[in-house]
Chain A
Amino acid sequence: MLMELDPSTRRTLRKALRNRNIRVGGAIVAAFVLMGLLAPFIAPYDPTKGNLRESLLPPCSKYPFGTDFAGRDVLSRVIWGARTSLIVSTVSVFIAVIAGVLVGGLSAYVGGWIDEVVTRIVDVMLSFPDILLALFVAAIVGPGLENVIVAVALYNFPQFVRIMRGSALQVKEMEYVEAARAIGESNASIFARYLLPNSLAPIVVHATLRTAASILTAAGLSFLGLGVQPPIPEWGQMMSDARTYLVTAPHVWIFPGVALFITVLGFNLLGDGLNDVLNPKMEV
């Protein structure tokens, strides 16, 4: 299959497979995705059912990560938590990418006052630093899985508008785009054939890095109690529960933290590696 690709794609692919960040990050991300997808099959116990008589057990042979205050298996909850993080982060980043690419690309392409307005709105949205925008949205829409997705998608949206707009502005000025316009190629076709492919590399890199940030933000919201609600297992929320037993049962907050940290690290490594290989001009 590798043979059917054109030489430059093949070269990029080979470079990607040799990149250590991509290999390590890719392996972690793959493990995370598999854990999320296969949670029902690999989790030893039901993550929502516990036995109060086995509350807060330290790690043992029966419960390798111990149990939480409700006697639920921490390992199973960590595994199921991957599923929650996977859903929240991928869906919200996906929504933000689609919306950001359309809005940013069109804004740059159309130009004029529309572009001016879009830029201003993005500036305003980016004035709410980091988790604050998600927190603001969560305060309006309330907690819950779907609402966290909305909040995190909105928090990512302006970033992708900005990136797409930046690279579309560059491509727009290229001679071949002007030539395409001169021979009467339709706007939709120019968008699909030139603007999108040329912006793909920075979008892919940024989507990977934003997935890392989104996992952290979603977990942060849940840690505050404004995100995914019990009984759905979620890493941030598990750590929030555990604060009460900080001293007596550190295993309850350590394991979900490790899972969260490694997952985010994986996406960051992958994003860094992709950035090295695709080497787009990154705009932060």
Chain B
Amino acid sequence: MLLTVDGLRVSYHTDEGIVRAVDGVTFSLDRRETLAVVGESGSGKSTLALSVMGLLPKTARVEGSIRFLDRELTTMREEELRRLRGDRMTIVFQEPMTALNPVFTIGRFMRDIYLTHREGSEEEALSLAREWLSKVKVPGPDKVLNSYPHELSGGMRQRVLIASSLMLEPDLVIMDEPTSALDVSVQAQILRLIAELKSQVEASFIFITHNLGVAAAVGDRVAVMYAGRMVEVASKEEIFSDPMHPYTKGLLRAVPKVSGGEVEPIPGSVPSLVNPPSGCRFHPRCPLADERCSEEEPELRKVRPGHWVACHKVSG
């Protein structure tokens, strides 16, 4: 296993109370595997990404274990963690417009990443950067290396960030809603690019999205998150053919279909992370909920090989 997350909990103390952004998440990731994590905003999926990267704010409290390359990340010293970041594990954020430093050129940024993690010359850094910019299909890589972020379009900046995240051939790449801030047409291009790159590199991916359709398109497996917990994990085929958790079913009905038909939003809204509902967190919005659901918290359990669900109403 490349990455094993076990019983991860992340909480913050705020004026309103303790926010449990991630509340007991367990999963693992194989080499060259892609896990798509789906959830609405506030489901804890971005917090999960940041905790793996060790980028949580200092006020966050982390419990549980994150093992990466057979090393425990939660207790690792910041300096060691820093050496892993950008080298063995990288992340691409949602907002390419603000993710790049406005006063430095793309070349400067990519060079700094290289020189931070590798012994090498500036020329080697720039030639590797150039090579990767071509791989992510940036037209005119030399010109782009000398460009400032504001001179590039959003899609182009996201390509730059993707190239930066792959340049040092990391073991793990996290993509946190990498296309959500882009125009629809550009989104499709970037998704295609990511699908293509996946086959070219050795890395494993965690792909975070709020769109189940996108998740199924890029993921080998799909994990559905709700209110800080994983409620269903299955292969992308099974998530579509045999969704079991009522929330997953609801999400599927909410995905616009090419064939037309009604889009049904899930009634209700994402619960507060300060005072989450008792029992199963989904029960206030769940059509199947009964008394047990409001009292007892369902565990994520295996219903068949490779398919895990946390729901009292699913037998097996």
Is there a direct interface between A and B, measured as CB atoms under 8 Å apart in the complex?
no
By a beta-carbon cutoff of 8 Å, the part of chain B in contact with chain A is: none
